[in-house]
Amino acid sequence: MSSGGRLDVARVRGLFPALSDGYVHADGPAGSLVPENVAHAVGSAMRMPVANRGGVFPASGRAEALVTGARAAVADLVGGRPGGVVLGPSTTALTYGMARALVRTWRPGDEIVLSRLDHDANVRPWLQLAATAGVQVRWAEVDIETGELPAWQYTELLNRRTRLVAVTAASNALGTRPDVAGIAAQAHAVGALVYVDAVHAAPHVYLDKASLGADLLAVSAYKWCGPHVAAVVADPDLLVHLQPEKLLPSSDRVPDRFETGTPPFELYAGVSAAVDHLAGLCADAYGSRRDRLRISMAAVARHEGDLFDWLDQALRAMRHVQVLGEPERCTPTLSFTVAGMRPRQVAAELARAGICAWDGDFYARELFDALGVNEGGGAVRLGLMHYNTADEVGRIIDAVAGLRPR
């Protein structure tokens, strides 16, 4: 039972068969665990007759329903319109596809603005495609003390030639949540589009595409308890003006024309189930699925926030630990280094203590170069999810406190 909009973590943990391995899963930012309803939905879709789309028999109708269902679910998750949901194998693949479509609308001398806080998936595709089109790239810098991406700097970076601003809703390395709405308002004032990477934010924050000011917004379901499927959500009226690379016989409709090849219908069943899982996290939540998402994600934020404050403060108090940055508004994710130990060694020690934690640069290459930690092997990342408990945070704190260079 959940009361007062709080998360009943014991009930939630019972939904995840994978938690029976006994490990503390602090590796959520790289991919979360999957609840039973998602595994069941995928398995069921593979056990029933599901053909391809566009046929006149029931098995084809089921394929169509799985596509429609996944689009509706993602639209609920981010506050978008199902007709603007482009599904694909990963955010990286979808962003490359969108970049290829957008670059056709750019002219030499146009400009785009990237951020050094972002995962490389929201950097390299733009950088590489901009180079082919003679488009100039400007950079928004991170304050390396705080890990913030100050919104004020965009005043200098934007002008009438700016075509696109790519920015993250939350850093997968430091957890920083920039003022995306403030940045988007400035971008829109000069007529630029805003591409928001909400991949790391999605399992922690109630997303609303409109209030973020995102023209295109990317999410990956495997970060929020779903399968390996991603989506870019845009206004259908925007997609109508973009022409992706596609095969001649495949549909020219929006959003279908952005989806190449035959999709993984069974995984789409898992996408819908994963959004249902998030919407049901607070047992007291009521109303439409979007309403239940708002209530449940608020409960998730309280649960994760309480655990994270404890973890963050405990690690910052340890003399042998350096937590990178100190953003004001963040997801329950942090990266740290340990004096005298390589991040890989730290991760190995934590694994011996039964804790799953990643080490490296987490593809936040620009950020870690700016912070100067890449030469030392990057950092160790701890990320909490709604299925983590106070007991687990205690285990992490004890394990990090006990780390000593060998």
Ligand X SMILES: Cc1ncc(COP(=O)(O)O)c(C=O)c1O
172 binds ligand X (CB under 6 A): yes
91 binds ligand X (CB under 6 A): yes
Is the CB of 42 or the CB of 87 nearer to ligand X? 87
CB 379 within 8 Å of CB 350? no
The span of 196-204, 303-311, 321-329, 384-392 binding ligand X (CB under 6 A) equals: 196-204
Instruction: Indicate if the alpha-carbon torsion angle 43, 49, 55, 61 is positive or negative.
Output: negative
Is the CB of 174 or the CB of 293 nearer to ligand X? 174
Of 165, 199, 214, 225, which lies in the binding site for ligand X, with binding defined by CB under 6 A?
199
26 binds ligand X (CB under 6 A): no
220 binds ligand X (CB under 6 A): yes
381 binds ligand X (CB under 6 A): no
CB 292 within 8 Å of CB 15? no
395 binds ligand X (CB under 6 A): no
The span of 33-41, 104-112, 197-205, 351-359 binding ligand X (CB under 6 A) equals: 197-205
Is the CB of 101 or the CB of 170 nearer to ligand X? 170
Residue 217: CB minimum distance to ligand X, A: 12
Residue 92: CB minimum distance to ligand X, A: 3
Sort residue 354 into left (φ over 0), alpha (ψ -120 to 50) or beta: left
CB hemisphere CA count around 347 (13 angstroms): 19
How far apart CA 32 and CA 268 sit, in angstroms, is 17
Residue length of the chain: 406
Place of tokens 């949540």: 177
204 binds ligand X (CB under 6 A): no
Map residues 236-255 to x or -, x wherever contact with ligand X holds by CB under 6 A.
--------------------
In DSSP terms, 196 is beta-bridged to 167, 217
How far apart CA 52 and CA 45 sit, in angstroms, is 13
**Residue 38: C-alpha distances to residues 15, 60, 154, 275, 276 (Å):** 10, 22, 41, 9, 9
Place of tokens 């020690």: 349
200 binds ligand X (CB under 6 A): yes
77 binds ligand X (CB under 6 A): no
Of 2, 92, 333, 335, which lies in the binding site for ligand X, with binding defined by CB under 6 A?
92
Longest dimension (CA), the chain: 67
Is the CB of 312 or the CB of 361 nearer to ligand X? 361
Report the SS3 class of residue 384. Answer: coil
In 3D space, the residue among 335, 334, 358, 363 whose CA is nearest the CA of residue 121 turns out to be: 363
The span of 90-98, 158-166, 231-239, 299-307 binding ligand X (CB under 6 A) equals: 90-98
121 binds ligand X (CB under 6 A): yes
Residue 27: CB minimum distance to ligand X, A: 11
119 binds ligand X (CB under 6 A): yes
In 3D space, the residue among 332, 322, 319 whose CA is nearest the CA of residue 26 turns out to be: 332
Of 76, 110, 111, 197, which lies in the binding site for ligand X, with binding defined by CB under 6 A?
197
90 binds ligand X (CB under 6 A): yes
Place of tokens 């404890």: 310
Give burial (CB, 10 Å; 0-12/13-18/19+) of 172.
buried
Joined tokens for residue 302: 């309280």
Is the CB of 162 or the CB of 168 nearer to ligand X? 168
CA angle, 92 then 87 then 356, to 5°: 55
Residue 194: CB minimum distance to ligand X, A: 15
How far apart CA 206 and CA 294 sit, in angstroms, is 6
Is the CB of 200 or the CB of 395 nearer to ligand X? 200
167 binds ligand X (CB under 6 A): no
Residue 90: CB minimum distance to ligand X, A: 3
Residue 227: CB minimum distance to ligand X, A: 11
Of 70, 85, 202, 230, which lies in the binding site for ligand X, with binding defined by CB under 6 A?
230
How far apart CA 38 and CA 276 sit, in angstroms, is 9
What is the binding site for ligand X (CB under 6 A)?
90-92, 119, 121, 168, 172, 197, 199-200, 220, 230
